[in-house]
Amino acid sequence: MINEKKTAARAGRPRSPKVDGALLDAALEVFLERGYHRASLSEIARRAGVGTPAIYRRWRTKADVGVDVVIRQAQPAPIPNTGSIRGDLVSFVRQRINMFGGRLFHYLLFPLVTDPGLSATVQARFLDYRQPLVERIRAAVESGELRPNTDPDGLIDVLMGPIVMPLLFSAPFPSLSDAEAIVDQTLEGFGAAGATPRANRSRTRGSARGG
């Protein structure tokens, strides 16, 4: 069993990174085996080799544990600055396809975001991931790549549609190769002149799934 020093639990003292990691590893294992709703904090603690109080020193609820597991496993890398808003958006869409297409989403993230009692907590934790892209979109508006009245959050929501809708309606999920088509079709509506390469425009119409 992993031993935590009693002094580590006192206010102001750092937590043990070893125990943090063991708990998150155990939580991932339990969530993937049993699903979110059937998983228990006591089982997570048992598999981590600690007592249940060790969990409550770190998280208030099972939802908090679940969100940290998702963030740890699926935290996207910083979006590369490709020099164009199209390239930045393609990178973003590919990250989200990877994130939403795996087992982690089906067993853990989907139950979290679809539970009315938990969705606000989850959204609050994940909204920060949008901010860097929101800033990129605003810069693209300033540079003329996107229309002056472009709403950054609205643009991101449209990009997420072809990724989220198939999950809700059991439709074919997009692959990484669909990312460019999703972005190009979106920029048809949001882009200023030249935002979407003309060579791609005829190719992308109707090619992205789930839109």
| Structure confidence by residue, pLDDT tens digits, 19-36 | 999 999 999 999 999 988
The letter for the amino acid at 70 is: V
Cβ proximity of 96 and 190 under 8 Å: no
Cα–Cα dist 121/116, whole Å = 10
| CATH 1.10.10.60 domain position(s) in the chain | 6-72
CB atoms under 10 Å from CB of 7, counted, come to 7
* Residues paired with residue 146 on neighbouring β-strands, in sequence order: 191
Percent of the chain at pLDDT exceeding 90: 47
Alpha helices in 7-118 (DSSP H): 17-34, 41-48, 52-56, 62-74, 85-100, 103-104, 110-114
Does residue 8 have a pLDDT over 60? no
Architecture of the domain whose range is 6-72: Orthogonal Bundle (1.10)
pLDDT value at residue 2: 53
Q: Which fold has domain 76-204?
A: Tetracycline Repressor; domain 2 (1.10.357)
Cα–Cα dist 134/83, whole Å = 15
| CATH 1.10.357.10 domain position(s) in the chain | 76-204
